[in-house]
Chain A
């Protein structure tokens, strides 16, 4: 079983990726990178990452969130974060990335923010 499982669903024109597992150096970070590349290749550039079931993230995983954010922005899209665990929130605070990402606690608010 891979470190990170990613399932995709569509909510209007927003693509929600539900992440489950670890976003760490190696497999987990690569899986996220590939998923974002694939969506951008399909012209889907409004992306909401649901992190509720991400049990662990390291600096490589945080770096992958940043790379995803910049890759989507470069394509004229937007990437936002949903349901940060306390640990992820702490890491984003330490890295001052809470000032970069739009983050949401509930999905309805997150989805409406794209319009």
Chain B
């Protein structure tokens, strides 16, 4: 059984909550347990926040597109922005002692911690595509 939901969000902070609510609704619909939904919720929040802030830079003319897909075995979230792309390796390790007291830079760490795998891709027509998966079993 495959379930898919696609949403398009404006590039503003309120969209982070909207994406998380959509993730919760979709997760409940496909029967994910609460702890799984919490993990997905957090990863979705961080990813959409990055897309709004660092990708589209709050340009409301540029959407953030989020797709949730569930195969029954794997849950997948794709977040796409229309910014200038991004290399996650450029982000300093927030757990390095010299970065511990920085206010920002922990979102990707949370995404990596709560999902099983993350693929980062730059779209041919511009923007970043982040695909996050988590096994259900």
A-B contact pairs, 6 of them (CB 8 A): A26-B14, A58-B110, A63-B104, A66-B102, A95-B100, A95-B109
Contact across chains for A64 and B103 when beta carbons are under 8 A apart: yes
Interface residues of B in 97-118 (CB under 8 A from A): 100-104, 106-107, 109-110, 113
Contacts of A70 in B (CB 8 A): 101
Chain A residues proximal to chain B, CB less than 8 Å: 24-26, 58-60, 62-64, 66-67, 69-70, 87, 91, 94-97, 99-100
CB distance from B85 to the nearest CB of A (A): 21
- A95-B101 in contact (CB<8A): no
- Chain B residues contacting A99 (CB-CB under 8 Å) are 100
Chain B, interface SS category: helix
Bound complex: CA A94 to CA B115 (Å): 14
Contacts of B102 in A (CB 8 A): 63, 66
Known contacts A58-B107, A100-B101; 4 additional CB pairs below 8 A are A24-B16, A58-B49, A95-B106, A96-B95
* Cα distance, A25 to B104, chains bound together (Å): 11
8 Å CB interface, B26-42 against A: 38, 42
Tell me if B46 and A58 are in contact (CB < 8 A).
Answer: yes
- In this complex, which of A24, A59, A66 has the most chain B Cβ atoms within 10 angstroms of its Cβ? A59
Main secondary structure of the interface of A (DSSP, over half): helix
Contacts of B46 in A (CB 8 A): 58-59
- In the complex, whether B13 has a CB less than 8 A from a CB of chain A is yes
Interface membership of B45, Cβ < 8 A = yes
CB-based nearest A residue for B42: A58
- A78, B111: Cα distance in complex, Å: 31
Please measure, in the bound complex, the distance between the C-alpha atom of A66 and the C-alpha atom of B104, giving whole angstroms.
9
**Which B residues are in CB contact (< 8 Å) with A97?**
100
Which residues from chain A contact B17 at a C-beta distance below 8 Å? 24
The interface residues of chain B lying within 8 Å CB-to-CB of A63 are 102-104, 106
User: Are B45 and A58 neighbours in the complex by a CB distance under 8 Å?
Assistant: yes
Q: Are B16 and A26 in contact (CB under 8 A)?
A: yes
Q: How far apart are A69's CB and chain B's nearest CB, in angstroms? A: 8
Interface residues of B in 1-40 (CB under 8 A from A): 13-14, 16-17, 38
Contacts of B107 in A (CB 8 A): 58-59
| B45 and A95 within 8 A (CB) | no
